[in-house]
Chain A
Amino acid sequence: MNATRKALAAGLAALSLLAVSACGSDSESGDTNEVEVFTWWAEGSEKAGLDALVKVFDEQNPDLKFVNGAVAGGAGSDAKNVLQSRLQNGEPPATFQAHAGAELTDYINAGQIEDLTDLYEEKGWNERFPEGLLERLKQDGGIYSVPSNIHRANMLWANPAVLEKAGIEANKTYDSLDAWIADLKKIKAKGIIPLSIATDWTQVHLLETVLLADLGAEAYNGLWDGTTDWSGSEVEAALADYSTLLSLTNTDRQGLDWPDATQLVIDGQAAFNVMGDWAEAAFQEQKKTLDTDYTAVPVPGTEGVFDFLADSFTKPVDGPNPSGTEAWLETIASDEGQVAFNKAKGSIPASTTADTADFGAYQQTAIKSWAEDEIVSSVAHGAATSVNWLTDITAAVAKFGSNNDAAELQEGLVEAAEDNKPE
Chain B
Amino acid sequence: MSSTVPGAVKRPGRSQQPRRPKGRRPGGRGWVAPVLLILPTVIVIGVFVYGLIGSNIHTSLQDRHNIGPSQGFAGLENYRDLFTDDDFIYSLRNLLLYTATFLVGTLCLGFLWAWLLERKARGESLFRAIYLFPMAVSFVASGVVWRWLLNNAEGDRASGLNRLFETLHLDFLQNPWWTNERWGILAIAVPAIWQLSGYVMALFLAGFRGIPEELREAARIDGASEWQLYRHVIFPQLSPVALSAIIIIGHMSLKVFDLIMAIAGQTNYTTQVPATQMWIEFTRGDYARSAAIGTVLLLIVAVLIVPYLVSTYRQERRR
Contact = CB atoms under 8 A, between A and B. Distances in A.
A15 B36 CA distance: 10
A254 B151 CA distance: 9
B268 A110 contact: no
Interface in A274-313: none
A80 interface: yes
A328 to B, nearest CB: 23
B66 A254 contact: no
B154 interface: yes
A112 B184 contact: no
A106 B152 contact: no
Contacts of B265: 199-200, 254
A230 to B, nearest CB: 19
Interface string B159-203: 000000000000000001011110010000000000000000000
Nearest to B21: A3
Interface string A382-408: 000001100100110011011100000
A403 B182 CA distance: 9
Contacts of B184: 402
Given A395-B87, A403-B181, A254 B284 contact: no
Nearest to B147: A255
A407 to B, nearest CB: 14
A88 B29 CA distance: 46
B268 A254 contact: yes
A251 B154 contact: yes
B40 interface: yes
Interface in B222-273: 264-265, 267-270
B67 A11 contact: no
B29 A11 contact: no
A372 to B, nearest CB: 35
A107 B270 CA distance: 32
B298 interface: no
Contact of A388 (B44, B66, B147): B66
A81 B268 contact: no
A84 B283 CA distance: 9
A8 interface: yes
A407 B308 CA distance: 46
Contacts, number: 105
B153 A250 contact: yes
A326 B183 CA distance: 54
B269 A399 contact: yes
Interface string A251-264: 11011000000000
A16 to B, nearest CB: 10
Given A252-B151, A402-B179, A200 B267 contact: yes
A109 interface: yes
Contacts of A403: 181, 269
A199 B268 CA distance: 8
Contacts of B39: 11, 15
A399 B43 CA distance: 45
A7 interface: yes
A107 B267 contact: no
A395 B267 contact: yes
A14 interface: yes
A110 B68 contact: yes
Interface string A93-119: 000000000000011011110000000
Given A4-B32, A112-B67, A250-B157, A106 B285 contact: yes
A200 B268 contact: yes
Contacts of B87: 395, 399
A15 B40 contact: yes
B267 A402 contact: no
A18 interface: yes
A10 interface: yes
Given A106-B66, A387-B284, A402-B269, A18 B40 contact: yes
Contacts of B36: 4, 7-8, 10-11
Nearest to A390: B284
Given A110-B66, A391-B284, A402-B184, A199 B267 contact: yes
23 contacts: A4-B29, A4-B36, A7-B37, A14-B40, A15-B40, A18-B43, A106-B66, A110-B67, A110-B68, A251-B154, A251-B157, A252-B152, A252-B153, A254-B179, A255-B151, A388-B65, A388-B66, A395-B267, A395-B280, A398-B268, A402-B179, A402-B180, A403-B269
Given A11-B36, A81-B283, A254-B264, 11 more contacts: A80-B283, A107-B67, A199-B265, A199-B267, A199-B268, A254-B268, A387-B285, A391-B280, A395-B280, A399-B269, A402-B179
Q: Which 4 residue pairs across A and B have the least CB separation, nearest first?
A: A252-B153, A14-B40, A110-B68, A11-B36
